Structure 1
Amino acid sequence: MKNTPSTQGRAYSRRDFLKLSGLTALSIGGMTVLTACGPSTETKDSGATDAKSDTASSFGEGGKLRVGMEVAYPPYNWQTSEATDDTIPVEGLDGAYADGIDIFVAKKVAAAFGLEAVAVKLAWSGLIEALNAGQIDCIIAGMTPTDERKQSIDFSDPYFIGHYGLLVKKDSPYASATSFADFAGASVLGQKDTLLDTVIDEIDGVNHMTPVDSVPAQLSHVNQGACDAITYNVENRGGLLAANPDLVAIQFDGSYQLFPDEVSCNVGLKKGQDDVLKKVNDAIAAMGADDSTWETIIARQPA
């Protein structure tokens, strides 16, 4: 399924993103999608948080902006044990903090409302339900506004634009692929309930495998030979390859961006909050983020 969100109000241009993603000479090493070096990275099950009305609260209650995310999806969000000017606390986990692109945005949005941002760690599949139940104030989790999601919640303007590519093992017969046609017959794996899964339908003649719950699970499958290729976020290429030296990123005509879709990251809000949405969009427009901002965040991902 293709997804080309509107670029109106974009905080990050396609040209800027291509520069960041490694399509120019930018080199970022020593990064990994895994967060085992920090506090527990176990994510709450989507059913673990009670959805009863008596657990719901109003926007910004107690002076806190409760931001829903996995806290396990670098470079957008990850968990660390060190509190810095760039982190926010993870609610309910002593000594746990969140960092990443989403946290930069969360701090800017919270400041616009005079609130303190806190991360609420949830399974990806439970984020929209938690938002509509009032358990979180917003979703800032690298989420893209698909048509299906827009039926349930509202979305802000984009704060980041990304693209997708494919990873295979270095000794794979697909490692020398120069087009999607070369993947005919390959088994390709994505992440459940994300565009990392749905973009696979753009490749003709492949075995679109049943998606798994997380990026680490994707990596485990391809490393063990349980699939031929996995989809991935191009902006995290350096970190993923540093942590998985047996893998290689496929290029078509020198580009790691294999799928044409622009994948925007937007803040998710409960419907009917027009004044809140306007203020969030104003905060995104005023963020002042540039190439160096995103490069700095990506470079400090956990090794």
Structure 2
Amino acid sequence: MNKKVLSLIAMVLSLVLMLVGCGANSNSSSAQAPEVQETEKTETFRVGLECGYAPFNWTQLDDSNGAVPIDGSQEYAGGYDVEIAKRIAGGLGKKLVIVKTEWTGLLPALTSGKIDAIIAGMSPTAERKETIDFSDNYYKSDLVMVVKRGGKYDNATSIQDFKGAKLTAQLNTFHYTVIDQIEGVIKEPAMDDFPAMRVALESGMIDGYVTERPEAVSAESAN
């Protein structure tokens, strides 16, 4: 399937590296054998990733191009986020462990202590800052719309050209809220991940989805 990338809004999206979260409660029942748990914790740097958001992070079958094993899996994770994670782990003198986690599960995994950090395109909203800390931005990107080449909206030049279009974005992201800027749009339910949106676009369930430019370029190149 061919896709065309269209500019959606003149808004800069901050992709940020999140390094600090809340540790597990020391009074919980899982705190048995503290010496073992503390040793494991200090020797590893556990990073949560979707492993499905190319070119920042993706899943592959081998360790080519510096990919890292995914915890509890026979697969590997690669991408810019993984390279950053490797550098941080190296600087800390710890072994990097990649924990593949769905987008909606990243924050709970961090606050519960399952992972030590999230490295992802996660905007530092006021609500998120109430429970987690963010580092400085390491990448900024524009938001765009991905549509089918040759489809009804292939020649759109303005966001208002999408009046009547069935649009969506990823669940629990501000991408989904910017759809409200388009008058007369049919706002479909948000989706869990980008592979699901690509399938929905190909099948005709939606006419387009909001994303960042690098992901859109990756989607276009892959199809």
TM-score tier (shorter): 0.7 to 0.9
Q: Which of 42, 49, 58 lines up with 1:69 in the alignment?
A: 49
Structure 1, unaligned stretches of length 5 or more? 12-51, 245-303
1:216 CA drift (Å): 1.2
CA–CA distance in structure 1, aligned partners of residues 116 and 79 of structure 2: 19
Higher share in strand: 2
CA–CA distance in structure 2, aligned partners of residues 74 and 169 of structure 1: 19
1:172 CA drift (Å): 2.4
Q: Which of 214, 217, 231 lines up with 2:210 in the alignment?
A: 231
Aligned to 1:37: none
Q: Which residue identity does 1:225 align to in structure 2?
A: G
Q: Which residue identity does 1:67 align to in structure 2?
A: V
Residue 78 (1) aligns with residue 58 (2) = yes
CA–CA distance in structure 2, aligned partners of residues 129 and 53 of structure 1: 18
CA–CA distance in structure 1, aligned partners of residues 141 and 39 of structure 2: 29
Aligned to 1:211: 190
Indicate conservation of the 8 Å contact 1:59/1:65, yes or no.
Answer: no
Moved over 4 A (4+): 2-7, 55-60
CA–CA distance in structure 1, aligned partners of residues 120 and 63 of structure 2: 20
Aligned to 1:143: 122
Q: Which residue identity does 2:156 align to in structure 1?
A: A
CA–CA distance in structure 1, aligned partners of residues 151 and 93 of structure 2: 52
Aligned to 2:96: 117
Indicate conservation of the 8 Å contact 1:67/1:140, yes or no.
Answer: yes
CA–CA distance in structure 1, aligned partners of residues 174 and 14 of structure 2: 16
CA–CA distance in structure 2, aligned partners of residues 106 and 209 of structure 1: 34
1:99 CA drift (Å): 0.8
1:59 CA drift (Å): 9.9
Q: 1:155 to 1:237 in 2, by over 3 A?
A: same
CA–CA distance in structure 1, aligned partners of residues 117 and 184 of structure 2: 39
* TM-score, normalised with respect to structure 2: 0.79
Structure 2, unaligned stretches of length 5 or more? 1-9, 18-27
Aligned to 1:54: 30
Indicate conservation of the 8 Å contact 2:45/2:94, yes or no.
Answer: yes
1:131 CA drift (Å): 0.7
Deviation per residue, 1:32-73 (Å, 9 max, x gap):
xxxxxxxxxxxxxxxxxxxx6617966971511000111121
1:6 CA drift (Å): 7.9
* Equivalent runs, 1:120-199 vs 2, <5 Å: 120-199=99-178
CA–CA distance in structure 2, aligned partners of residues 60 and 142 of structure 1: 28
CA–CA distance in structure 1, aligned partners of residues 95 and 41 of structure 2: 10
